[in-house]
Structure 1
Amino acid sequence: MTLSWLNGHRATLARSGVLRQALRVELIEQSLADDQIPLPDEQQQQALLRDFWQRQTLPPEKQASWLRQRHLSEAELIAMLSRPQRWRQWCSQRWAHSQEALFLKHKNQLDQASIALLRLEDEGLARELYLQLQEGEATVQELAERYCRDQPQRQAGQWGHRPLIELPPALADMVRSSPPGKLREPVQLAAGDWVILRVERFEAASLNDPVVPPRLYQLEGDAQLEAWMEAWLNQSGN
């Protein structure tokens, strides 16, 4: 598959709902080839295959049939399975020299927190539940199950240690400005969206954390990939 092939089959792929995914894969493959990012060594390849077949719960005698049905060779499967790892390697090579600039650009996407959260439509109910929490009459999780169960998109309850990027921007800013351990009085983020919040733990991203640089490279790689995709789609659509 090439970009020219994608362009020639654009309409069919779009109707099938796979154009963006196919384009993403092709752009990644092209980048890996251009910069000669190698496949993992034999031991890593076998580990990838072993883990994959275990997830598929397929015994060895059925694996060849599975591949034939999908018109794949084992080498092609290995290339697919190793693509995320090789893309991370490409991103690291591309932006390792820009660590500090990337940190300033993406820091807010890497901050993490554990929070207790209620999001309610009614101000009166929000203030009543706030008082219950203040008096220790109930827990956030109990109230979330009772009053927010039918609105899972509001992400109420005990919210484990996760990136703040997963929260709406206004709520993420509220988390950053809240002292850990303090129950915030109800705050209206938008019409019909009253928030009661307690930050259990906040962890600001730091370049001293060894997991942060790879995440920065991945974020920048994904942003670059998205820009390439939009440029190709807009150019090809003209």
Structure 2
Amino acid sequence: MTPIFKVGDKVINAHEVVPLLADYQLLPQLIREIVIDQAIAEVECTPQEIQSVYQQFFQQNQLTPANLPVWLQQNKISKEQLESKLLRKLKLEKFKRLTWSNKIESYFLKRKGQLDRVVYSLIRTQNPGIAQELYFRIAEGEKSFAELAQQYSEGSEAQTGGLIGPVEINTPHVKIAQMLNSGKPGQLWPPTRVGEWLVIVRLEKLLPAQLDEPMRQKLLNELFEGWLSEQVQQKVSFPPFNGQNEEEIANQSS
């Protein structure tokens, strides 16, 4: 047995590490990071790119080279560890761009229907009579949706006058999302059963997704995460540890 470290009176031996990581649900993250390290090992960064990532770090943390030592001490990290962390982040982002940048446009078109955002108003109640009455009062303009939502809605949306969003169109309950996806701004739906609730919904705004820089980064991350999940499934195998077979440890890490 080879001791690795000690916690209180408990000595952790080498053969115990992987089963412990699996037991505490830490093994999946470790595997991910190892797969990432293998993927970015050959990525080269220019001096300009390295300088840029340092500048971003200093700006984000409101630091200068003069007060960096204090920050390092407060965060219990060495300068070498910080440099390694920043370089790894840079190489990972460059790996994403090199691998998937030319696929972003087609992926955006494929995903656009789910990326469009909406602003909508919602009232929910469990009382059918109240739901019907509120719907007619809104439809006839007797009172505003916001006033009635504040007074009668039984969910947290009452605090915002029933207003929700902007949110991606697939964020609400699937039944509400289908209504919003087929509607036009200003459309009001009569009381509709959604689970235990009767809901009154009005579409306020439809905000079509745009392929701007934040959206590009979001899609780049999605493509990377999909690839990473596949890599973890394909590449990882487990020899027996401490009486556990490969299947048992794999199940613990999933």
- Tell me the TM-score normalised to structure 1 length: 0.70
Measured on the aligned residues, the alpha-carbon RMSD in Å equals 3.7
1:98 offset after TM fit, Å? 2.4
Number of the residue aligned with 1:200 = 204
One-letter amino acid of the counterpart of residue 90, structure 1: F
Aligned residue for 1:148?
154
Q: Give 2:54's match in structure 1, choosing from 42, 45, 52.
A: 45
Are the aligned partners of 1:115 and 1:158 in contact in 2 as well (CA < 8 Å)?
yes
Give yes or no for the alignment of 1:65 onto 2:73. Answer: yes
Aligned mates of 1:87, 1:162 — CA distance in 2: 29
Larger radius of gyration: 2
Q: Is the 8 A contact 1:111 1:204 kept in 2?
A: yes
Identity among equivalent pairs (%): 21
1:223 and 2:226 equivalent? yes
- Per-residue CA deviations over 1:25-75 (Å, capped at 9, x if unaligned) read 333333222444679422431431452367xxxx7564232343xxx3234
Q: Distance in 1 between matches of 2:155 and 2:232?
A: 38
Aligned letter for 1:44? Answer: V
Cα distance change, pair 158–38 in 1 and its aligned pair in 2 (3 A): farther
Change (3 A) 1:67 1:220: same
Deviation at 1:114, TM superposition (A): 1.5
Checking the alignment, whether the CA contact within 8 Å between 1:122 and 1:194 is kept in structure 2 is yes
Q: Is the 8 A contact 2:120 2:164 kept in 1?
A: yes
Q: Is the 8 A contact 2:157 2:164 kept in 1?
A: no
Write 1 or 2 for the structure with the bigger share of helix.
Answer: 1
1:55-134 mapped onto 2 (5 Å cutoff): 62-68=70-76, 72-80=77-85, 86-134=91-139
Shift of 1:179: 0.9
Equivalent AA in structure 1 for residue 229 of structure 2: E
CA distance in 1, matches of 2:38, 2:125: 48
Q: Is the 8 A contact 2:122 2:149 kept in 1?
A: no
Determine the C-alpha separation between the residues in 2 that align with 1:227 and 1:141.
50
Q: Deviations over 1:74-129 (max 9, x none)?
A: 34335445766654443232122224431343223321111112344443333233
Q: Any stretches of 5+ residues in structure 2 without a counterpart?
A: 1-14, 239-245, 248-254
Structure 1, unaligned runs of 5 or more: 1-6
